[in-house]
Amino acid sequence: MTALVFALLAGALVGLALGSLGAGGSILTVPALIYLLGFSPAEASTASLLIVIVTSFTALVAHARAGAVRWRAGLLFAAAGLLPAAGAGLLSARIPTVVLTLAFAGLAVLAGLRMLRHQTLPEDATVSGPRAAGAGAALGMVTGFLGVGGGFLAVPALVAALAVPMNAAVGTSLLVIIANAVVALAARASVEVSLDWALIVPFVATAVLGALDGKQLSAKVQAATLQRVFGGLLVTLAAAMAAGALL
């Protein structure tokens, strides 16, 4: 019963992050699955991809209805990451648990610090093909290897490399996240992982509801405030994960 309550609460938090920021939700999913629900790192990264796909799709629909998705830019960006996502997804199953945990903790620190700093992104960026391809490939590798969407990387990359306006970058990043996550999950299909659906289903259900609420929240609360809250949470989680892996 306790695990079910944790699944419901964690799902709601993940959905809020994805719906309001287009980032941070998926990187909260893995530690929630490991430390609250007892998943192994391999199980958590695979389950995370499933949760990210469903939740991001829900948030994407909400942003698309508001006209805040640049489909062509998002698909081009995602295309560069598909092969790296597949390759990294296959490689992930062969990496020791401690290494995966430490790599994830390092990524969470990076994401948290970026959110805490809340750097202002340029609105007058120019389109750069090579930069877009490089950023898309890097994002695909992160998604495939660690089972996270990488929205905190996708949003600034879309603005800087493809000149997507900030008001459309969040929605567009969700499209990129879904594409990479689907490919990464397909690459893991041959790897035997046992998933507890009795916990994943309620997690997804509240994440979907949270994503819808997050879209409304983003219109009422300043993005800087939301980013600092989620950034502080990520840094704390990363420290706990690193300590647990090393001790």
Q: For 84-116, write each residue's pLDDT tens digit.
A: 888 887 777 777 778 877 887 787 777 777 767
CA–CA dist 181, 177 (Å, integer): 6
8 Å CB contact between 234 and 27: yes
- Assess whether pLDDT exceeds 70 at residue 133: yes
CA–CA dist 141, 64 (Å, integer): 26
Of 46 and 221, the structure prediction assigns the larger pLDDT to: 46
Point out the least confidently predicted range of 75-84, 115-124, 234-243. Answer: 115-124
- Assess whether pLDDT exceeds 60 at residue 121: no
Q: For 135-169, write each residue's pLDDT tens digit.
A: 788 888 877 777 666 666 777 777 777 778 777 88
- Assess whether pLDDT exceeds 60 at residue 124: no
CA–CA dist 126, 116 (Å, integer): 26
Of 25 and 140, the structure prediction assigns the larger pLDDT to: 140
8 Å CB contact between 109 and 237: no
- Assess whether pLDDT exceeds 70 at residue 219: no
Most confident of the following: 12-26, 124-138, 179-193, 228-242:
179-193
Express as a percent the part of the chain with pLDDT over 70.
Answer: 79
What is the mean predicted confidence (pLDDT) over 235-244? 76
| Mean pLDDT, the chain, integer | 77
Which amino acid is it at 91? L
pLDDT given for residue 152 in this prediction: 66
Nearest to 108 by CA among 240, 224, 19, 214: 240
- Assess whether pLDDT exceeds 70 at residue 25: no
Of 140 and 26, the structure prediction assigns the larger pLDDT to: 140
